């Protein structure tokens, strides 16, 4: 140990007396009773009038700056606000966070029994009534088509097992004789006639029901036993998917012959008085033309739609420019336009695009959409060529329904839910191919909207009306009381908010019926919708309103996970109000607490209080549910209009404290018991250690030995004021150290 000239110790001890070996921890008083310790470094307080000890609440809310194009709620101070004045972009969000996109502020979580697609208005939907004249036996899946007959009567046809029935908009139901028997597999219509497919063939009859249907196509023997089938009228053609075969069905009709000619190569040339729709390979029967023309022959050439050629093998026949008689497409002669190589393939839907006919199907867990490309020849009727795959679904997702809208959009119903896509019309190599987006409505499997596993049935049917698509869903519509219903999803195809995500919401439902919804149609020009439920019945859109409906917002958390006190809600309702409106709060665990039910006597200019009736504790987020009830006798067209809400909240974060500590920082200090400790340079050493802690910015411990309080926080600022000189002869150098400490 080094000594000076007076034999005094000239170096400080290796371990400073009264200091801990490391900084940043805690400190334990032993022989010296310090007042406080910061990060394990002990100090005595030096509070005075000039250097007070202070405790104050730290700022806990930042100044809000509105950087959006239009002034919004961020420009206001005080309350945290969230409001909505329209819901027309549909359901499907879990959190109400407008920063995630411009359309989120016009969407919601879920609904039932309400129409949301009128901007700024939410109204109750029509109810549904069962058609008691149509019996749907257990296990039977009804098939529906809607239309308007040639007399202007709006109607829909229902196929249940082997029975075909016609129901008019006036409510009259009659049974039609379509000309066949056995289970009906598919229906289609062309605006004037209906078509029925069964195991025997295809039958045609008038939508008026004035006459019985007749057989126009007999299923060829090549298809084997018919177990699956689909029909579709597309590009002025009847497309039939029978087992794994596709046919372009040409109805059998007599066409008058006007002239004949045979050349020296034994080719017979036939001229028809009216256009025909024969193609090379068609078998036709000539009758009344005369020998040797009469009989069934195979067409070898088609010049145009009033001429065709076949091989006669008889050149000794004179030309007849005024021939008479008829030529008729022979029954049972149509060759398939495509045969899927998988014999168990089943076709499910037919629709048309700008330049193609699309047919969907599946085998096992493999499903795709085929396009039938069309070519135009010198004639007026396009001829089908080959089948190409336009879209392939992920393995395990099976297409059950499909429809095209305005030649651009395509809606696909699967066993997993609903997708929307676009049809490529670029005219290049990709022309006719389909690009589809993610599932917008999950009906089976994990649903991110509700964060639950759903067990709904496949989406088996789709129909269009105006700009909307209506798709059947089963055991999917949440009634709001823990029960579910089958019914419809309504998709607004004019609301595309990116990545082929369309605005959607639930629509008509068969209340508390969870069986498969297998069919949907629009009843002619009435805009009224009809739903077919397996083993249950046919549900028609009624003129009365549903008994109740609701809309539920996403969880509102103001884009922060901190807790809040949700205090007030302002309701917006068009006056006068006829029915009633109930406000409920839904917490993050989907627990529903009713707050208030109001009617026309309520003052809608006032805020609703009592948001914490069920639970006064602060919460990270809540959702709002608005339930609507019609007045007695209130009809469609008289609906109340809900226009929006505004929610007010304040943050419930734990307040931080700013503690200002005036500390003695001298080389030599003493406690209140006159215990003196220190060494030359201690003040500088402790200041350096404290500055190191400040530079690290880590959370440390503040110990107040006088009050027994221990808190954790960070050093916000350090200020040191020297009060004694730092010359070589000075004793006990140092000063007052002021530390600003923020608790966390």
pLDDT tens digits along 351-363: 999 889 999 999 9
Name the helix (H) or strand (E) containing 353: none
Lowest mean pLDDT among 90-104, 260-274, 328-342, 505-519: 328-342
Shared domain check, 558 and 683? no
Task: Give yes or no for residue 3 having a pLDDT over 60.
Answer: no
First CA to last CA across the chain, in angstroms? 45
Shared domain check, 433 and 351? yes
Shared domain check, 563 and 479? no
Task: Give yes or no for residue 438 having a pLDDT over 70.
Answer: yes
- CA-nearest of 136, 177, 138, 171 to 156 is 171
Is the residue at 397 inside a domain?
yes
Average pLDDT over residues 247-273: 83
At 456 the three-state DSSP class reads: coil
Shared domain check, 489 and 433? yes
pLDDT at residue 21, as a whole number: 44
Q: How far is CA 566 from CA 61, 570, 572, 644, in A?
A: 16, 12, 18, 17
445 or 24, which is more confident: 445
Task: Give yes or no for residue 1 having a pLDDT over 50.
Answer: no
Listed residues 305, 329, 353: the one ending a domain? 329
pLDDT at residue 680, as a whole number: 87
Task: Give yes or no for residue 103 having a pLDDT over 50.
Answer: yes
The 10 Å Cβ neighbour count of residue 592 is 16
Banded pLDDT at 444 (limits 50, 70, 90): very high
CB distance 458 to 465 below 8 Å: no
Q: How far is CA 89 from CA 28, 97, 488, in A?
A: 63, 14, 17
pLDDT at residue 321, as a whole number: 85
Is the residue at 155 inside a domain?
yes
Shared domain check, 433 and 541? yes
pLDDT at residue 451, as a whole number: 85
CA 48 to chain centre: 66
pLDDT at residue 79, as a whole number: 85
At 316 the three-state DSSP class reads: coil
Whole-angstrom distance, CA of residue 91 vs CA of residue 527: 23
Shared domain check, 535 and 432? yes
Question: Which residue shows structure tokens 């966390």?
Answer: 744
What value does the mean pLDDT of the chain take? 88
Shared domain check, 299 and 222? no
Task: Give yes or no for residue 24 having a pLDDT over 90.
Answer: no
- CA-nearest of 387, 376, 396, 393 to 350 is 387
Is the residue at 146 inside a domain?
yes
My answer on whether omega of the bond before 105 falls inside 30° of 0, hence cis, is: no
Eight-state DSSP code of residue 462: E
Listed residues 270, 299, 329: the one ending a domain? 329
Shared domain check, 386 and 297? no
Is the residue at 26 inside a domain?
no
Is the residue at 68 inside a domain?
no
Whole-angstrom distance, CA of residue 231 vs CA of residue 351: 10
Listed residues 634, 651, 668: the one ending a domain? 651
Task: Give yes or no for residue 378 having a pLDDT over 70.
Answer: no
Name the helix (H) or strand (E) containing 690: helix 682-696
Task: Give yes or no for residue 194 having a pLDDT over 90.
Answer: yes
The torsion region of residue 417 among left (phi > 0), alpha (psi -120 to 50) and beta comes to left
Whole-angstrom distance, CA of residue 631 vs CA of residue 641: 13
CB distance 386 to 338 below 8 Å: yes
Is the residue at 604 inside a domain?
yes
Whole-angstrom distance, CA of residue 244 vs CA of residue 363: 10
Shared domain check, 479 and 358? yes
In which domain, by residue range, is 263 found? 254-329
The 10 Å Cβ neighbour count of residue 332 is 11
Shared domain check, 512 and 397? yes
Banded pLDDT at 373 (limits 50, 70, 90): confident
Is the residue at 28 inside a domain?
no
What is the 3-state secondary structure of 654-669?
CCCEEEEEEEEEECEE
- CA-nearest of 145, 163, 164 to 155 is 145
Name the helix (H) or strand (E) containing 544: strand 537-545
What is the 3-state secondary structure of 276-301?
CCCCCCCEEEEECCCCCCCEEEECCE
CB distance 542 to 637 below 8 Å: no
Name the helix (H) or strand (E) containing 685: helix 682-696
Average pLDDT over residues 466-489: 96
Task: Give yes or no for residue 489 having a pLDDT over 60.
Answer: yes
pLDDT at residue 128, as a whole number: 98
Q: What is the pTM of this model?
A: 0.79
When divided into structural domains, the chain yields a total of 4
Number of H helices, E strands in the chain: 1, 57
pLDDT at residue 32, as a whole number: 83
Task: Give yes or no for residue 163 having a pLDDT over 60.
Answer: yes
User: Which sign does the torsion angle of CA 428, 434, 438, 441 carry?
Assistant: positive
Domain at 112, CATH number: 2.60.120.260
The 10 Å Cβ neighbour count of residue 568 is 16
Is the residue at 101 inside a domain?
yes
At 469 the three-state DSSP class reads: strand
Residues 6+ apart with CB under 8 A from 606: 570
What b/e readout covers 30-39, taking b as 16+ CB neighbours within 10 angstroms? eebebbbbbb
Considering 502-506, 615-619, 698-702, the range whose residues carry the highest mean pLDDT is: 502-506
Shared domain check, 202 and 140? yes
Shared domain check, 232 and 162? yes
Eight-state DSSP code of residue 394: P
Eight-state DSSP code of residue 727: S
């Amino acid at each position: 140990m080094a000594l000076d000239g007076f034999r005094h110790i000239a170096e400080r001890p290796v371990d400073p007396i009264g200091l801990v070996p490391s900084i940043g921890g805690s400190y334990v008083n032993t022989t010296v009773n310090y007042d406080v310790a910061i990060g394990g470094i002990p100090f005595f307080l030096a509070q005075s009038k000039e250097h007070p000890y202070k405790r104050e609440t730290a700022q806990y809310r930042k100044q809000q700056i509105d950087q959006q194009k239009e002034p919004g709620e961020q420009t206001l101070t005080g309350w945290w606000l969230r409001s909505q004045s329209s819901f027309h972009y549909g359901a499907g969000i879990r959190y109400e966070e407008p920063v995630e996109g411009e359309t989120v502020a016009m969407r919601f979580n879920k609904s039932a029994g309400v129409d949301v697609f009128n901007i700024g208005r939410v109204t109750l939907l029509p109810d549904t009534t069962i058609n008691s004249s149509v019996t749907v036996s257990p296990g039977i899946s009804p098939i529906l088509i809607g239309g308007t007959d040639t007399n202007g009567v709006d109607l829909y046809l229902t196929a249940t097992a082997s029975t075909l029935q016609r129901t008019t908009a006036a409510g009259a139901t009659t049974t039609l004789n379509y000309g066949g028997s056995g289970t009906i597999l598919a229906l289609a219509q062309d605006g004037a006639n209906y078509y029925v497919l069964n195991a025997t063939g295809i039958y045609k009859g008038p939508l008026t029901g004035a006459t019985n249907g007749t057989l126009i196509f007999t299923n060829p023997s090549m298809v084997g036993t018919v177990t699956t089938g689909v029909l579709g009228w597309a590009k002025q053609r009847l497309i039939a998917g029978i087992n794994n075969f596709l046919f372009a069905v040409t109805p059998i009709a007599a066409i008058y012959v006007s002239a004949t000619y045979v050349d020296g190569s034994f080719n017979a040339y036939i001229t028809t008085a009216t256009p025909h729709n024969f193609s090379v390979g068609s078998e036709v029967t000539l009758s009344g033309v005369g020998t040797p023309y009469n009989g069934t022959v195979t067409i070898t050439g088609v010049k145009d739609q009033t001429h065709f050629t076949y091989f006669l093998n008889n050149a000794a026949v004179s030309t007849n420019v005024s021939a008479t008689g008829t030529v008729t497409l022979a029954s049972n002669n149509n060759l398939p336009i495509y045969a899927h190589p998988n014999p168990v393939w089943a076709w499910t839907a037919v629709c048309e695009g700008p330049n193609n006919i699309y047919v969907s199907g599946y085998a096992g867990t493999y499903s795709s959409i085929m396009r039938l490309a069309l070519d135009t020849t010198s004639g007026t009727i396009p001829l089908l060529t080959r089948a190409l795959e336009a879209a392939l679904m992920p393995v395990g997702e099976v297409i059950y329904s499909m429809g095209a809208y305005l030649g651009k959009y395509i809606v696909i119903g699967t066993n997993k839910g609903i997708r929307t896509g676009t049809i490529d019309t670029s005219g290049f190599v990709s022309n006719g191919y389909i690009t589809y987006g993610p599932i917008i409505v999950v009906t089976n499997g994990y649903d991110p909207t509700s964060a639950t596993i759903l067990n709904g049935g496949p989406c088996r049917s789709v129909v269009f009306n105006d700009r909307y698509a209506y798709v059947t869903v089963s055991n999917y519509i949440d009634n709001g009381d823990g029960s579910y219903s089958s019914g419809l999803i309504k998709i607004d195809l004019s609301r595309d908010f990116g990545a082929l995500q369309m605005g959607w919401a639930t629509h008509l439902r068969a209340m508390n019926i969870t069986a498969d919804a297998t069919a949907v149609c629009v009843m002619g020009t009435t805009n009224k919708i009809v739903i077919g439920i397996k083993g249950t019945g046919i549900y028609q859109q009624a003129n009365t309103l549903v008994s109740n409906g609701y809309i539920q917002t996403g969880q509102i958390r103001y884009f922060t996970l901190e807790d809040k006190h949700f205090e007030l809600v302002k309701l917006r309702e068009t006056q006068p109000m006829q029915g009633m409106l109930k406000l409920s709060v839904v917490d993050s665990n989907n627990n529903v607490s009713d707050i208030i039910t109001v009617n026309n006597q309520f003052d809608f200019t006032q805020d609703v209080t009592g948001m914490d009736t069920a639970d006064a504790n602060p919460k990270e987020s809540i959702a709002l549910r608005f339930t609507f009830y019609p007045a007695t006798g209130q009809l469609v067209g008289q609906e109340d209009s809900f226009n929006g809400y505004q929610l007010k909240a304040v943050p419930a974060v734990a307040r931080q404290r700013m503690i200002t500590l005036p500390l003695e920082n001298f080389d030599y200090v003493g406690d209140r018991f006159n215990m003196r400790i220190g060494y030359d340079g201690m003040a500088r050493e402790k200041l350096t250690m404290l500055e190191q802690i400040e530079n690290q910015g880590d959370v440390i411990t503040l110990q107040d030995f006088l009050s027994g309080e221990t808190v954790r926080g960070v050093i916000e600022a350090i200020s040191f004021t020297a009060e004694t000189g730092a010359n070589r002869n000075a004793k006990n150098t140092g000063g007052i150290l002021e530390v600003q400490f923020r608790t966390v």
